[in-house]
Amino acid sequence: MTVLEAIKLRRSVRAYSPRPIPDDLMQRMRDALRYAPSACNIQPWQFVFVTDPTPRRDLARTAKEQMWMADAPVTIVACGYPKLAYPRMGGRHSSLDIDIAIALDHLTLAAVAEGLGTCWIGAFSEADAKAILHVPEDVRVVAMMPLGYPASDGLIHPVTEAQRKPEVEVFVLERFQS
Amino acid sequence: MTVLEAIKLRRSVRAYSPRPIPDDLMQRMRDALRYAPSACNIQPWQFVFVTDPTPRRDLARTAKEQMWMADAPVTIVACGYPKLAYPRMGGRHSSLDIDIAIALDHLTLAAVAEGLGTCWIGAFSEADAKAILHVPEDVRVVAMMPLGYPASDGLIHPVTEAQRKPEVEVFVLERFQS
Protein backbone atom coordinates (compact mmCIF):
# COMPACT_ATOMS: atom_id res chain seq x y z
CA MET A 1 0.00 0.00 0.00
CA THR A 2 1.42 3.39 -0.96
CA VAL A 3 1.47 6.33 1.41
CA LEU A 4 -1.23 8.12 -0.57
CA GLU A 5 -3.41 4.99 -0.56
CA ALA A 6 -3.03 4.83 3.22
CA ILE A 7 -3.95 8.52 3.46
CA LYS A 8 -7.13 7.95 1.47
CA LEU A 9 -8.06 4.75 3.36
CA ARG A 10 -7.55 6.17 6.85
CA ARG A 11 -10.84 6.42 8.74
CA SER A 12 -11.84 7.21 12.29
CA VAL A 13 -12.63 3.66 13.42
CA ARG A 14 -15.23 3.65 16.19
CA ALA A 15 -15.94 -0.11 16.42
CA TYR A 16 -13.19 -2.57 17.28
CA SER A 17 -12.64 -6.32 17.38
CA PRO A 18 -10.98 -7.65 20.55
CA ARG A 19 -8.58 -9.63 18.28
CA PRO A 20 -5.07 -9.28 19.69
CA ILE A 21 -2.39 -7.45 17.72
CA PRO A 22 0.64 -9.67 16.97
CA ASP A 23 3.90 -8.66 18.63
CA ASP A 24 5.78 -7.96 15.39
CA LEU A 25 3.01 -5.65 14.26
CA MET A 26 3.04 -3.80 17.58
CA GLN A 27 6.77 -3.35 17.11
CA ARG A 28 6.16 -1.62 13.78
CA MET A 29 3.54 0.61 15.41
CA ARG A 30 6.05 1.63 18.10
CA ASP A 31 8.62 2.33 15.37
CA ALA A 32 6.11 4.56 13.55
CA LEU A 33 5.76 6.67 16.70
CA ARG A 34 9.38 6.62 17.77
CA TYR A 35 10.89 7.50 14.38
CA ALA A 36 8.72 10.59 14.07
CA PRO A 37 10.49 13.94 13.80
CA SER A 38 10.04 16.67 16.38
CA ALA A 39 11.26 20.23 16.67
CA CYS A 40 15.05 20.11 17.24
CA ASN A 41 14.63 16.33 17.61
CA ILE A 42 13.73 16.87 21.27
CA GLN A 43 11.13 14.07 21.28
CA PRO A 44 9.30 15.75 24.19
CA TRP A 45 6.93 12.82 24.60
CA GLN A 46 6.04 9.53 26.21
CA PHE A 47 3.34 7.20 24.98
CA VAL A 48 1.46 5.08 27.48
CA PHE A 49 0.25 1.77 26.06
CA VAL A 50 -2.78 0.76 28.11
CA THR A 51 -3.89 -2.86 27.66
CA ASP A 52 -5.56 -3.56 31.01
CA PRO A 53 -9.34 -3.53 30.44
CA THR A 54 -10.22 -1.53 33.54
CA PRO A 55 -8.15 1.61 32.83
CA ARG A 56 -9.17 1.37 29.16
CA ARG A 57 -12.79 1.62 30.22
CA ASP A 58 -11.95 4.40 32.68
CA LEU A 59 -10.18 6.36 29.94
CA ALA A 60 -13.16 5.91 27.60
CA ARG A 61 -15.38 7.34 30.33
CA THR A 62 -13.21 10.47 30.51
CA ALA A 63 -13.74 10.91 26.77
CA LYS A 64 -17.43 11.70 26.79
CA GLU A 65 -18.33 8.07 27.56
CA GLN A 66 -17.16 6.84 24.18
CA MET A 67 -17.12 3.28 25.51
CA TRP A 68 -16.40 1.75 22.09
CA MET A 69 -12.82 2.96 22.66
CA ALA A 70 -12.38 0.26 25.28
CA ASP A 71 -13.13 -2.53 22.77
CA ALA A 72 -9.77 -1.94 21.09
CA PRO A 73 -7.02 -4.03 22.74
CA VAL A 74 -4.77 -1.00 23.26
CA THR A 75 -5.38 2.62 24.15
CA ILE A 76 -2.37 4.81 23.41
CA VAL A 77 -2.18 7.91 25.58
CA ALA A 78 0.15 10.57 24.19
CA CYS A 79 1.86 12.56 26.93
CA GLY A 80 3.98 15.64 26.41
CA TYR A 81 6.58 17.55 28.40
CA PRO A 82 5.88 21.28 27.91
CA LYS A 83 9.14 22.33 29.57
CA LEU A 84 11.16 20.25 27.11
CA ALA A 85 9.34 21.18 23.88
CA TYR A 86 10.88 23.71 21.53
CA PRO A 87 9.57 27.26 21.99
CA ARG A 88 8.53 28.12 18.45
CA MET A 89 8.17 31.67 17.15
CA GLY A 90 10.36 33.27 19.71
CA GLY A 91 8.82 31.37 22.58
CA ARG A 92 5.25 32.53 22.09
CA HIS A 93 4.10 29.16 20.90
CA SER A 94 5.20 25.68 22.01
CA SER A 95 5.92 22.89 19.54
CA LEU A 96 4.33 20.31 21.85
CA ASP A 97 0.99 19.80 20.12
CA ILE A 98 2.59 19.72 16.69
CA ASP A 99 5.32 17.27 17.74
CA ILE A 100 2.84 14.86 19.25
CA ALA A 101 0.43 15.19 16.34
CA ILE A 102 3.24 14.23 13.95
CA ALA A 103 4.02 11.07 15.90
CA LEU A 104 0.37 10.03 16.20
CA ASP A 105 -0.27 10.78 12.54
CA HIS A 106 2.63 8.49 11.64
CA LEU A 107 0.90 5.82 13.70
CA THR A 108 -2.49 6.30 12.03
CA LEU A 109 -1.00 5.82 8.55
CA ALA A 110 1.25 2.91 9.51
CA ALA A 111 -1.79 1.27 11.12
CA VAL A 112 -3.90 1.57 7.96
CA ALA A 113 -1.18 -0.18 5.97
CA GLU A 114 -1.42 -3.15 8.37
CA GLY A 115 -5.21 -3.37 8.47
CA LEU A 116 -5.46 -1.74 11.89
CA GLY A 117 -7.79 1.07 12.88
CA THR A 118 -7.26 4.16 15.02
CA CYS A 119 -9.26 7.20 16.07
CA TRP A 120 -8.04 10.60 17.23
CA ILE A 121 -9.49 11.37 20.65
CA GLY A 122 -9.12 15.02 21.54
CA ALA A 123 -12.15 15.63 23.71
CA PHE A 124 -11.58 14.20 27.18
CA SER A 125 -10.99 15.29 30.74
CA GLU A 126 -7.26 15.67 30.96
CA ALA A 127 -7.36 15.79 34.77
CA ASP A 128 -9.26 12.51 34.95
CA ALA A 129 -7.01 10.81 32.39
CA LYS A 130 -3.95 11.94 34.34
CA ALA A 131 -5.36 10.54 37.56
CA ILE A 132 -6.08 7.15 35.97
CA LEU A 133 -2.53 6.78 34.63
CA HIS A 134 -0.66 8.53 37.47
CA VAL A 135 0.67 11.10 35.00
CA PRO A 136 3.10 13.50 36.73
CA GLU A 137 1.86 17.03 37.37
CA ASP A 138 4.12 18.75 34.81
CA VAL A 139 3.17 16.36 32.00
CA ARG A 140 0.31 17.05 29.59
CA VAL A 141 -2.01 14.45 28.09
CA VAL A 142 -2.34 15.78 24.55
CA ALA A 143 -4.42 13.08 22.86
CA MET A 144 -5.57 9.49 23.12
CA MET A 145 -5.85 6.90 20.38
CA PRO A 146 -7.36 3.41 20.44
CA LEU A 147 -5.53 0.89 18.25
CA GLY A 148 -7.00 -2.38 17.04
CA TYR A 149 -8.60 -4.33 14.23
CA PRO A 150 -11.83 -2.79 12.99
CA ALA A 151 -14.93 -4.76 14.03
CA SER A 152 -15.76 -5.38 10.36
CA ASP A 153 -14.08 -4.94 7.02
CA GLY A 154 -16.94 -2.73 5.87
CA LEU A 155 -15.70 0.05 8.14
CA ILE A 156 -12.71 0.67 5.88
CA HIS A 157 -13.38 2.45 2.62
CA PRO A 158 -11.67 5.43 1.05
CA VAL A 159 -12.51 8.99 2.05
CA THR A 160 -14.77 10.47 -0.62
CA GLU A 161 -14.45 13.83 -2.30
CA ALA A 162 -17.72 14.89 -0.68
CA GLN A 163 -16.12 14.54 2.77
CA ARG A 164 -13.53 17.19 2.11
CA LYS A 165 -13.64 20.86 1.09
CA PRO A 166 -12.92 21.42 -2.60
CA GLU A 167 -9.45 22.50 -3.70
CA VAL A 168 -10.57 26.07 -4.34
CA GLU A 169 -11.40 26.49 -0.65
CA VAL A 170 -8.26 24.81 0.66
CA PHE A 171 -5.46 26.16 -1.50
CA VAL A 172 -4.36 29.73 -2.02
CA LEU A 173 -2.07 30.55 -4.93
CA GLU A 174 0.87 32.82 -4.08
CA ARG A 175 -0.90 35.06 -1.53
CA PHE A 176 -4.26 36.07 -0.09
CA GLN A 177 -6.16 38.63 -2.11
CA SER A 178 -6.36 41.77 -0.03
CA MET B 1 7.39 2.18 -0.74
CA THR B 2 5.48 1.19 2.39
CA VAL B 3 4.29 3.72 4.94
CA LEU B 4 6.86 2.55 7.47
CA GLU B 5 9.63 2.80 4.88
CA ALA B 6 8.53 6.37 4.17
CA ILE B 7 8.54 7.11 7.90
CA LYS B 8 12.10 5.85 8.24
CA LEU B 9 13.32 7.64 5.09
CA ARG B 10 11.80 11.03 5.92
CA ARG B 11 14.49 13.62 6.59
CA SER B 12 14.57 17.36 7.12
CA VAL B 13 15.90 18.35 3.70
CA ARG B 14 17.81 21.63 3.85
CA ALA B 15 19.29 21.71 0.32
CA TYR B 16 17.05 21.73 -2.73
CA SER B 17 17.33 21.41 -6.49
CA PRO B 18 15.41 24.01 -8.53
CA ARG B 19 14.03 21.11 -10.64
CA PRO B 20 10.32 21.74 -11.19
CA ILE B 21 7.74 19.36 -9.71
CA PRO B 22 5.50 17.78 -12.37
CA ASP B 23 1.82 18.74 -12.27
CA ASP B 24 0.54 15.23 -11.56
CA LEU B 25 2.90 14.92 -8.61
CA MET B 26 1.78 18.31 -7.24
CA GLN B 27 -1.79 17.03 -7.49
CA ARG B 28 -0.91 14.07 -5.26
CA MET B 29 0.75 16.42 -2.78
CA ARG B 30 -2.41 18.55 -2.65
CA ASP B 31 -4.46 15.37 -2.14
CA ALA B 32 -2.20 14.34 0.76
CA LEU B 33 -2.98 17.64 2.48
CA ARG B 34 -6.62 17.87 1.58
CA TYR B 35 -7.58 14.32 2.55
CA ALA B 36 -6.14 14.75 6.04
CA PRO B 37 -8.53 14.35 8.95
CA SER B 38 -9.24 17.18 11.37
CA ALA B 39 -11.26 17.46 14.57
CA CYS B 40 -14.94 17.16 13.61
CA ASN B 41 -13.77 17.31 9.97
CA ILE B 42 -13.79 21.11 10.22
CA GLN B 43 -10.68 21.48 8.04
CA PRO B 44 -9.87 24.85 9.64
CA TRP B 45 -7.06 25.54 7.23
CA GLN B 46 -5.80 27.06 4.02
CA PHE B 47 -2.45 26.28 2.45
CA VAL B 48 -0.68 28.97 0.46
CA PHE B 49 1.50 27.61 -2.34
CA VAL B 50 4.19 30.18 -2.96
CA THR B 51 6.13 29.70 -6.19
CA ASP B 52 7.22 33.29 -6.97
CA PRO B 53 10.93 33.58 -6.11
CA THR B 54 10.69 36.96 -4.37
CA PRO B 55 8.17 36.04 -1.67
CA ARG B 56 9.92 32.69 -1.22
CA ARG B 57 13.10 34.55 -0.38
CA ASP B 58 11.19 36.96 1.85
CA LEU B 59 9.62 34.05 3.74
CA ALA B 60 13.02 32.41 4.19
CA ARG B 61 14.27 35.69 5.68
CA THR B 62 11.46 35.61 8.27
CA ALA B 63 12.62 32.13 9.26
CA LYS B 64 15.98 33.06 10.77
CA GLU B 65 17.48 33.74 7.35
CA GLN B 66 17.34 30.08 6.33
CA MET B 67 17.81 31.08 2.71
CA TRP B 68 18.16 27.47 1.51
CA MET B 69 14.36 27.31 1.89
CA ALA B 70 14.03 29.55 -1.16
CA ASP B 71 15.86 27.07 -3.38
CA ALA B 72 12.86 24.72 -3.29
CA PRO B 73 10.39 25.54 -6.08
CA VAL B 74 7.45 25.77 -3.65
CA THR B 75 7.06 27.05 -0.12
CA ILE B 76 3.84 25.85 1.48
CA VAL B 77 2.53 28.15 4.19
CA ALA B 78 -0.01 26.49 6.47
CA CYS B 79 -2.64 28.92 7.71
CA GLY B 80 -5.26 28.20 10.34
CA TYR B 81 -8.56 29.68 11.43
CA PRO B 82 -8.61 29.66 15.26
CA LYS B 83 -12.29 30.62 15.41
CA LEU B 84 -13.26 27.62 13.29
CA ALA B 85 -11.09 24.98 14.95
CA TYR B 86 -12.65 22.54 17.39
CA PRO B 87 -12.32 23.58 21.05
CA ARG B 88 -10.81 20.44 22.55
CA MET B 89 -11.04 19.54 26.21
CA GLY B 90 -14.01 21.65 27.00
CA GLY B 91 -12.69 24.63 25.10
CA ARG B 92 -9.45 25.05 27.01
CA HIS B 93 -7.35 23.88 24.11
CA SER B 94 -7.78 24.44 20.38
CA SER B 95 -7.35 21.66 17.85
CA LEU B 96 -5.72 24.05 15.37
CA ASP B 97 -2.07 23.09 15.77
CA ILE B 98 -2.88 19.38 15.80
CA ASP B 99 -5.14 19.59 12.74
CA ILE B 100 -2.54 21.43 10.71
CA ALA B 101 0.27 19.16 11.89
CA ILE B 102 -1.70 16.14 10.68
CA ALA B 103 -2.13 17.61 7.21
CA LEU B 104 1.52 18.65 6.90
CA ASP B 105 2.68 15.29 8.22
CA HIS B 106 0.62 13.58 5.52
CA LEU B 107 2.44 15.76 3.03
CA THR B 108 5.90 14.94 4.38
CA LEU B 109 5.31 11.19 4.04
CA ALA B 110 3.62 11.38 0.64
CA ALA B 111 6.56 13.49 -0.54
CA VAL B 112 9.14 10.92 0.58
CA ALA B 113 7.34 8.26 -1.41
CA GLU B 114 7.74 10.39 -4.55
CA GLY B 115 11.39 11.32 -4.01
CA LEU B 116 10.58 14.83 -2.80
CA GLY B 117 11.96 16.52 0.27
CA THR B 118 10.34 18.73 2.88
CA CYS B 119 11.35 20.45 6.11
CA TRP B 120 9.19 21.56 9.03
CA ILE B 121 9.72 25.28 9.63
CA GLY B 122 8.36 26.35 13.00
CA ALA B 123 10.68 29.20 13.93
CA PHE B 124 9.75 32.32 11.98
CA SER B 125 8.23 35.74 12.48
CA GLU B 126 4.53 35.13 12.07
CA ALA B 127 3.83 38.86 11.72
CA ASP B 128 6.34 39.21 8.89
CA ALA B 129 5.09 36.07 7.11
CA LYS B 130 1.54 37.38 7.35
CA ALA B 131 2.54 40.72 5.86
CA ILE B 132 4.30 39.05 2.92
CA LEU B 133 1.28 36.93 2.00
CA HIS B 134 -1.46 39.41 2.98
CA VAL B 135 -2.82 36.91 5.51
CA PRO B 136 -6.01 38.22 7.14
CA GLU B 137 -5.76 39.40 10.73
CA ASP B 138 -7.77 36.56 12.27
CA VAL B 139 -5.78 33.85 10.50
CA ARG B 140 -2.71 32.22 12.04
CA VAL B 141 0.39 31.07 10.19
CA VAL B 142 1.13 27.80 11.99
CA ALA B 143 4.04 26.42 10.00
CA MET B 144 5.90 26.65 6.71
CA MET B 145 7.31 23.85 4.59
CA PRO B 146 9.52 23.96 1.49
CA LEU B 147 8.76 21.23 -1.04
CA GLY B 148 11.14 20.12 -3.78
CA TYR B 149 13.68 17.61 -4.99
CA PRO B 150 16.68 17.24 -2.70
CA ALA B 151 19.85 18.80 -4.10
CA SER B 152 21.52 15.37 -4.08
CA ASP B 153 20.46 11.77 -3.56
CA GLY B 154 22.92 11.46 -0.70
CA LEU B 155 20.67 13.62 1.47
CA ILE B 156 18.14 10.82 1.74
CA HIS B 157 19.04 7.92 4.00
CA PRO B 158 17.07 6.26 6.77
CA VAL B 159 16.87 7.69 10.27
CA THR B 160 19.25 5.73 12.48
CA GLU B 161 18.51 4.30 15.90
CA ALA B 162 21.07 6.68 17.39
CA GLN B 163 18.94 9.64 16.29
CA ARG B 164 16.00 8.62 18.45
CA LYS B 165 15.49 7.95 22.14
CA PRO B 166 15.42 4.25 23.00
CA GLU B 167 12.09 2.50 23.49
CA VAL B 168 12.48 2.40 27.26
CA GLU B 169 12.44 6.22 27.38
CA VAL B 170 9.57 6.64 24.94
CA PHE B 171 7.03 4.02 25.96
CA VAL B 172 5.28 3.54 29.28
CA LEU B 173 3.52 0.27 29.97
CA GLU B 174 0.04 0.62 31.47
CA ARG B 175 0.69 3.67 33.69
CA PHE B 176 3.35 5.91 35.18
CA GLN B 177 5.00 4.58 38.32
CA SER B 178 4.09 6.92 41.14
**Is a pLDDT exceeding 80 seen at residue B93?**
no
Instruction: State ipTM.
Output: 0.96
B116, B155 contact by CB (below 8 A): no
Is A177 part of any domain? no
Q: Cβ of A107 under 8 Å from any chain B Cβ?
A: no
Which pLDDT band, with edges at 50, 70 and 90, does A94 fall under? confident
Contact residues, chain A, for B112 at CB < 8 Å:
3
Which pLDDT band, with edges at 50, 70 and 90, does B94 fall under? confident
Contact residues, chain B, for A55 at CB < 8 Å:
174-175
In A80-99, the residues whose Cβ lies within 8 Å of chain B are: 86, 88-90, 95, 97-98
Average pLDDT, chain B: 95
A124, A84 contact by CB (below 8 A): no
Is A176 part of any domain? no
Residue B128 CB burial class (10 angstroms; 0-12, 13-18, ≥19)? middle
- The distance of B148 to chain A (nearest Cα, Å) reads 16
Domain total of chain B:
1
- Closest-CA residue of chain B to A81: B170
- Closest-CA residue of chain B to A6: B3
Is B12 part of any domain? yes
**Is a pLDDT exceeding 80 seen at residue B90?**
no
This prediction has a pTM of: 0.96
A69 or A178, which is more confident = A69
Is B135 part of any domain? yes
Q: Which of B6, B41, B123 sits opposite A3 (nearest CB)?
A: B6
**Is a pLDDT exceeding 60 seen at residue B152?**
yes
Contact A132 B175 (CB under 8 A): yes
Q: Which of B27, B43, B98 to mutate against chain A (most A CBs within 10 Å)? A: B98
- Domain span at residue B136 reads 3-170
Is A37 part of any domain? yes
Is A9 part of any domain? yes
pLDDT tens per residue across span A99-128? 999 999 999 999 999 999 999 999 999 999
Largest CA distance in chain A: 55
Instruction: Please count the other Cβ atoms lying within 10 Å of the Cβ belonging to residue A53.
Output: 12
Is B121 part of any domain? yes
Indicate the SS3 state at residue B1: coil
Average pLDDT over residues A64-73: 97
Is A175 part of any domain? no
CATH number of A9's domain: 3.40.109.10
Q: What is the pLDDT of residue B92?
A: 59
